[in-house]
Structure 1
Amino acid sequence: MNPRTNPLAAATPPHPEQQYLDLMRQVWETGSERIDRTGVGTRSIAGAMLRFDLGGGAMPLLTTKRVYWKTATRELLWFLTGETNIRPLVLQGVKIWNEWPHARYVRETSDAISLDDFVARIAQDEAFARRWGDLGPVYGKQWTSWPTYRYRPDGLYEKGEGINQVAAVVESLRTSPGSRRHIIEGWNVAELDRMALPPCHKTYQFHVAGEGEEARLNCLLYQRSCDVALGLPFNLWSAALLTRMIAQQVGMEPGELVWMGGDVHLYLNHAHLIEEQLRRQPQGHPRLAITRLPETIFGYTIEDFVVHDYAPQPPISAPVAV
């Protein structure tokens, strides 16, 4: 059939961002209403999948609202340091983890300090930050120093050397690309109760397609809990960025990001954000350039990343449920 007369052949493929908007609409229109841990309430569905081609510098960076990709990048780089205290983020102006230690401080001290004043004190007072700014063994700790224990002859256990899962995955991709064990796991059951927030984006699995110069690195991310409006735009960017960084380190081209969500939800107090964003149409195709190849996966800085052709529509603010 002549493609000029075949409407299917002539159809323009949907913008990659449309699948995100379709998911948002599905959750909002069909999700079951539930009272959640935060007390705010959500509409939720069980299970979802999104796929993004990362070839040619493409990134799942939403255009229907501004996503602060530098903030998300600084968070990812913070994870890779193994740090669990918010002070390094606060000193960079990154606010995304502030509510959890603030809530704990107010709860445990009965001091009704404002969030802004609490964050200012974290920045100014190192001793205060050490006491009240730590989040427990969250992402970075599990990624770079998963705890191990040794059984002693006297029948007791002692702590062993932590496992750097990120370094191990980079090494295994280099030496055994066909392995099915390229996994970074955040869900350490023994330490969940010590975390300010158990990991939402919990399991990353990497998959190599092709060989040699044709090798492409795919990433599958399983996210047990997903706030579609506020969290997912950051999660997609960060997972794609981590994939691009690892691909560069092991000499492969980035392939596909496959995102899978478990409890996929929208908060009831985000109605204005959802309705406004669903009225918008995706536009443009942002691209990421990594300007330098550090010696290791842990050597990247914020200056190494440049985004081209990103002209998003205005931001839409909404409260974070803690």
Structure 2
Amino acid sequence: MKAYIDIGRRILDEGVWISNTRTGQKTLTVIGATFEHDLSDGTVPVVTTKKLFWKSAIAEMLGYLRGYSSAAQFRALGCNTWNANANDNKAWLGNPHRLGKDDMGLCYGVIGRAFPGIEDDKPLDQYKKIVTDLSNGIDDRREIMTFNHPNLTHRACLPACMHTHHFNLLGDDLYIESYQRSSDFALGQPFNHLQVAFLLLITAQITGKKASIMRHHLSNVHLYENQVEIFKNQQINREPMALPSLKINPNIKSLEDLETWVTMEDFELVNYKHHEAIKYPFTI
């Protein structure tokens, strides 16, 4: 929480106003920030200066790991974050590649689980390759899953913001370095930070490794103009609380388990104490 507040103050103190043609809103922006958290102590980095709807954050990452391409699939998991981008994004609604209601196109998990091949090459299941390698104690320094395909961004309702995850194995200790091109700091960032932690924890569990340190690297970090006063006058002045822990059903032992029967009932955020929720505007 201290790191989150420090970066928030940096945005308010040093941020530069930038116009955004896609959203039609200005953002108060800084470039470059990193979160680091050691998951081996049992805690997870969950924002406490407001209520985080943490199940939706985990459901979204689970949907990515399943390769979901429809907002309806995410809704079935209890995650509504893709409804607007799939169905209310004017640019996407007019895109000839859109398949219809709720279609998200080729973004996030679709690329992560089936990165398109070249000519006759089969699509690469990046996450399955990582899980297989780590389960066998292999780290070739290329245990990378990207949700970004630069030549196919026109076929996605939204190019991936948190686009790449790099796993590293030292003995039985598993690390992750995650990279994010664009950080909606007030609304999206708390989601994304927990998602990195969850990705490391669940990957460690199904590969038989121990979750160690996560680092979450942000590039363009911003507050939208309709968020700045709310963030400055409410959230940043609240006193942080102790971090909770995430309990994961120990019966989740494989990638196949993740792909088939796992639901949000298999996760519990223990001792999560927080301030009341803050309603930030969502910008499409």
Provide the TM-score with structure 1 as the length reference: 0.81
Question: Cα distance, 1:75 vs. partner?
Answer: 0.9
Kindly report which structure 2 residues correspond to 1:123-134, keeping only aligned pairs within 5 A, or say none: 131-134=100-103
Given the superposition, is the C-alpha separation of residues 217 and 92 from structure 1 closer, same or farther in structure 2, using an over 3 Å criterion?
closer
Q: For residues 173 and 92 of structure 1, what CA distance do their matches in structure 2 show?
A: 27
Correspondent of 2:249 among 279, 285, 291: 291
Question: Cα distance, 1:141 vs. partner?
Answer: 0.5
Is the 1:57–1:287 contact (alpha carbons within 8 Å) kept by the matching residues of 2? yes
Given the superposition, is the C-alpha separation of residues 222 and 321 from structure 1 closer, same or farther in structure 2, using an over 3 Å criterion?
same
Kindly report which structure 2 residues correspond to 1:1-322, keeping only aligned pairs within 5 A, or say none: 17-36=1-20, 37-104=22-89, 108=93, 131-150=100-119, 158=120, 160-209=121-170, 211=171, 215-275=172-232, 276-300=234-258, 301=262, 302-322=264-284
Question: Cα distance, 1:320 vs. partner?
Answer: 1.1
Residues 197-236 of structure 1 show CA distances to partners (whole Å, capped at 9, x for unaligned) of 1011011011123x2xxx2111100101111111110101
Residues 248-291 of structure 1 show CA distances to partners (whole Å, capped at 9, x for unaligned) of 11211110110111111111110243121101011122001112
Amino acid of the structure 2 residue aligned with 1:100: N
Is the 1:245–1:297 contact (alpha carbons within 8 Å) kept by the matching residues of 2? no
Question: Cα distance, 1:106 vs. partner?
Answer: 9.4
Q: For residues 277 and 179 of structure 2, what CA distance do their matches in structure 1 show?
A: 27
**Which secondary structure state, in structure 2, belongs to the residue aligned with residue 262 of structure 1?**
strand
Amino acid of the structure 2 residue aligned with 1:317: K
Residues 77-97 of structure 1 show CA distances to partners (whole Å, capped at 9, x for unaligned) of 111221111112234442211
Is the 2:17–2:28 contact (alpha carbons within 8 Å) kept by the matching residues of 1? yes
Given the superposition, is the C-alpha separation of residues 202 and 208 from structure 1 closer, same or farther in structure 2, using an over 3 Å criterion?
same
Is the 1:85–1:130 contact (alpha carbons within 8 Å) kept by the matching residues of 2? no
Residues 145-173 of structure 1 show CA distances to partners (whole Å, capped at 9, x for unaligned) of 111133xxxxxxx5x42211111111122
Is the 1:80–1:298 contact (alpha carbons within 8 Å) kept by the matching residues of 2? no
**Which secondary structure state, in structure 2, belongs to the residue aligned with residue 269 of structure 1?**
coil
Q: For residues 145 and 39 of structure 2, what CA distance do their matches in structure 1 show?
A: 20
Residues 15-50 of structure 1 show CA distances to partners (whole Å, capped at 9, x for unaligned) of xx1101110110122111100131111011111111
Is the 1:249–1:293 contact (alpha carbons within 8 Å) kept by the matching residues of 2? no
| Bigger mean CA deviation after superposition, 178-187 or 61-70 | 178-187
Provide the TM-score with structure 2 as the length reference: 0.91
Q: For residues 190 and 92 of structure 2, what CA distance do their matches in structure 1 show?
A: 30
Q: Percent identity?
A: 28
Question: Cα distance, 1:308 vs. partner?
Answer: 0.7
Structure 2: state its 5+ residue gaps.
Answer: none
The CA RMSD over aligned residues, in Å, is 1.9
Q: For residues 54 and 189 of structure 2, what CA distance do their matches in structure 1 show?
A: 12
**Which secondary structure state, in structure 2, belongs to the residue aligned with residue 131 of structure 1?**
coil
Count, aligned residues: 275
Is the 2:205–2:253 contact (alpha carbons within 8 Å) kept by the matching residues of 1? no
Q: For residues 115 and 137 of structure 2, what CA distance do their matches in structure 1 show?
A: 22
Runs of 4 or more above 6 Å deviation? none
Given the superposition, is the C-alpha separation of residues 176 and 292 from structure 1 closer, same or farther in structure 2, using an over 3 Å criterion?
closer
Given the superposition, is the C-alpha separation of residues 267 and 284 from structure 1 closer, same or farther in structure 2, using an over 3 Å criterion?
same
Question: Cα distance, 1:176 vs. partner?
Answer: 4.8
| Bigger mean CA deviation after superposition, 268-277 or 308-317 | 268-277
Q: For residues 235 and 187 of structure 2, what CA distance do their matches in structure 1 show?
A: 12
Q: For residues 100 and 18 of structure 2, what CA distance do their matches in structure 1 show?
A: 35
Structure 1: state its 5+ residue gaps.
Answer: 1-16, 110-128, 151-157
- Residue 13 of structure 1 corresponds to none
Structure whose alpha-carbon radius of gyration is higher: 1
Residues 51-107 of structure 1 show CA distances to partners (whole Å, capped at 9, x for unaligned) of 011113211111111111101111111112211111122344422111122224798
